[in-house]
Structure 1
């Protein structure tokens, strides 16, 4: 039973992943009908719709007739937003109440197979690009953006389709409206009388994430996400980075970058061999890697009181190669094996006894 549910749940996850990350143009009539239906459920007349080409345009656009109290900086205080979040939360509580005791373990399975991978994938591919662009002030955990995530909708869709949970007609109607909105457009911002809705991106590049079923934003030769008006974002293996990291990484720019994660991404983009040569790093020592037989560890001086350990990944990448990567370690370390052991919180002797590092 669990195997069949898991298989169907994985199919449902992929279906919703396709909806969330599609680059097809928005279905404007379907989006407006769904959003209008949600407005009616909270006691508001359907709004007029103001379509924009990208989320950035939505954040910078003030539709005619908007009061200062409804500026984007006060998104969490908008009456319609608060009412819709409350509607969603009440719906979720009601849907949870439809579970029988026998179905609760399967609810957890749906959470693992459907909800969690979708939530992490959408956060990586869409939410982070939206909220961190230009050092945005918005909290990535903002309840309104979470309410628009397909992850919770897919969870309950999985419960009714894969587990057989029966919802009431009213619950089904509400869930279908939220689902239709996600399926038909990008982000939307609901005010009294007007709703700003964004088109979808025209390009979206992802790669498989670390966990089964997940994807993350990544492109090595250009913007990972792009909209028709030119708004874009660059990403390296799920980490949003400035454009120069992808388009023109250099030793000089890396040296000036204060963020250690962005420096790491830029070095990986440039390539560790090229970075070591161009930066003129001094080789301190090299040694066979006891945690990865057949590979060597190399320790270089990098900055004051800092060294970098160059190692080879113990597992094979999807392209059949073993990735070379660098780890910063304290400057007092002089032996590569000691440095490798330090990264694991082990002694050199303990590290040397590892069967194989991954």
Structure 2
């Protein structure tokens, strides 16, 4: 194939286009609610044609990524049950299942060779500029796809290792596969496969078992939409030969995680809701930050995935101190509130509290923190927000400072990079 030639610099118009691409895909990355299912399925068919394959015979939908992980493992069995396949052929399909999955490159796209097309047509400087302009943090780090990936890993590990008690204790129902999820997914797949095969199929009372390594099928669009944004941007500035990714881009705009196998594909919807804080980080203080139609959910505190029980406020100081993850401990303290935690944990005060020179009418107090909180010796400065909340109250919060900090005023000064004497003369609002 011949390419249009090297793109060595961007015009003002192309720079504008990059901003439009970034905005569009950032919106896609955070989109919630039902997408256009017909458009998503047509995108799947186009993606298959792009790699020289016939579209899959069966395209089915399940209501969450967790259901999708289970479905991609048992769908060969369901197809055989509905269409009259033999057990031996079903077992053979299990062995070929992973080998039969479509190839995916490191960028997360089905279509191979995208990077080589870009390399042949743009200079390194242009590639860097496109990535800088388009690959926004919200495309890589803040979307629900990344959260889903992290939560899925913990759920899969719990099923593999049988760590159900810990999940129950944390308020994250494990939805044991053999008792809950597996029968439901089997019934949903049976109905859809029967309808598409044109046969009378019902969810028969059969013993459904997961194959070994059932979790190993690799989903597409499971980490972020950044690869699609990059490919879109390159095409918009003149890179040719990119039409092969249009199908996948279409799926990404209307669906969530999906799995591509030679004979079948499984799609899942976007979450019904996805909540963020003022900084754009996934966050919800009173419920799941992301939740799917079947109730599968992810709980997040200012960007950190946490157990549901933490968000509900069920953790006391003992539970907080027993938490092995430093970031989750920090989130739990913030959820409880630093003043409440300091009182409940009986933290030792360092010296006397002092008026805050930069926040008139408020006081600063310094406490020692147990090493178990952050795994290193630190102290915490309890201070008050300079701006009242909507109800007129002022929120107190804790800021960690080095363990050798002698007093609260020195702690506040050090946080601003000032000396104690400089801070004493400062007038500011925190």
Shift in alpha-carbon separation, 1:279–1:7, aligned structure 2, 3 A: farther
Asked if structure 2 preserves the Cα contact closer than 8 Å seen for 1:310 and 1:324, the reply is no
Q: In the alignment, which residue of structure 2 is the partner of 1:26?
A: 35
Q: In 1, Cα distance between the equivalents of 2:300 and 2:381?
A: 23
1:301 to 2:368 alignment: yes
Q: In 1, Cα distance between the equivalents of 2:222 and 2:119?
A: 16
Compare 175-184 and 228-237 and name the one that shifted more: 175-184
Asked if structure 1 preserves the Cα contact closer than 8 Å seen for 2:378 and 2:402, the reply is yes
Q: In 2, Cα distance between the equivalents of 1:351 and 1:181?
A: 57
Runs of at least 4 residues off by over 6 Å: 1-4, 313-323, 340-344, 346-358
Deviation at 1:204, TM superposition (A): 1.0
Deviation at 1:199, TM superposition (A): 1.4
- Local SS of the residue matching 1:207: coil
Q: In the alignment, which residue of structure 1 is the partner of 2:116?
A: 93
Q: In the alignment, which residue of structure 2 is the partner of 1:326?
A: 398
Q: In 2, Cα distance between the equivalents of 1:153 and 1:283?
A: 53
RMSD: 4.1
1:195 to 2:195 alignment: no
Shift in alpha-carbon separation, 1:149–1:126, aligned structure 2, 3 A: closer
Asked if structure 2 preserves the Cα contact closer than 8 Å seen for 1:251 and 1:279, the reply is yes
Q: Which runs of 5+ in 2 are unaligned?
A: 1-9, 78-89, 158-216
Q: In 1, Cα distance between the equivalents of 2:394 and 2:12?
A: 33
Q: Indicate the structure (1 or 2) with the bigger Cα radius of gyration.
A: 2
Q: In the alignment, which residue of structure 1 is the partner of 2:233?
A: 158
The 5 A counterparts of 1:50-129 are: 50-61=60-71, 62-65=74-77, 67-69=93-95, 79-82=101-104, 88-99=111-122, 101=123, 105=125, 107-122=127-142, 124-129=143-148
Asked if structure 2 preserves the Cα contact closer than 8 Å seen for 1:53 and 1:198, the reply is yes
Q: In 2, Cα distance between the equivalents of 1:2 and 1:39?
A: 35
- Local SS of the residue matching 1:218: coil
Q: In 1, Cα distance between the equivalents of 2:64 and 2:304?
A: 21
Deviation at 1:326, TM superposition (A): 2.9
Asked if structure 1 preserves the Cα contact closer than 8 Å seen for 2:385 and 2:397, the reply is no
Q: In 1, Cα distance between the equivalents of 2:95 and 2:389?
A: 51
Q: In the alignment, which residue of structure 1 is the partner of 2:195?
A: none
Q: In 1, Cα distance between the equivalents of 2:424 and 2:316?
A: 38
CA offset digits 1:201-234 (Å, max 9, x no partner): 111112343xxxxx32111111100011110011
Deviation at 1:241, TM superposition (A): 0.5
- Local SS of the residue matching 1:200: coil
Asked if structure 1 preserves the Cα contact closer than 8 Å seen for 2:146 and 2:222, the reply is no
Deviation at 1:283, TM superposition (A): 1.8
1:149 to 2:224 alignment: yes
1:35 to 15, 40, 44: 44
Q: Which has the higher strand share?
A: 1
CA offset digits 1:86-115 (Å, max 9, x no partner): 75451132034222x5xx645433322321
Asked if structure 2 preserves the Cα contact closer than 8 Å seen for 1:26 and 1:184, the reply is yes
- Local SS of the residue matching 2:294: coil
The 5 A counterparts of 1:241-280 are: 241-248=306-313, 249-280=315-346
1:9 to 15, 18, 22: 18
Asked if structure 2 preserves the Cα contact closer than 8 Å seen for 1:309 and 1:336, the reply is no
Q: In the alignment, which residue of structure 2 is the partner of 1:180?
A: 250
Shift in alpha-carbon separation, 1:306–1:129, aligned structure 2, 3 A: same
Shift in alpha-carbon separation, 1:236–1:109, aligned structure 2, 3 A: same
Q: Which runs of 5+ in 1 are unaligned?
A: 210-214
1:230 to 2:240 alignment: no
- Local SS of the residue matching 2:54: coil
Q: In the alignment, which residue of structure 2 is the partner of 1:212?
A: none
CA offset digits 1:18-60 (Å, max 9, x no partner): 2222223132221122112222222332111121000011112
Asked if structure 2 preserves the Cα contact closer than 8 Å seen for 1:205 and 1:218, the reply is yes
Asked if structure 2 preserves the Cα contact closer than 8 Å seen for 1:251 and 1:278, the reply is yes
Q: In 1, Cα distance between the equivalents of 2:231 and 2:388?
A: 34
How many correspondences in the alignment? Answer: 335
TM-score (norm 1): 0.75
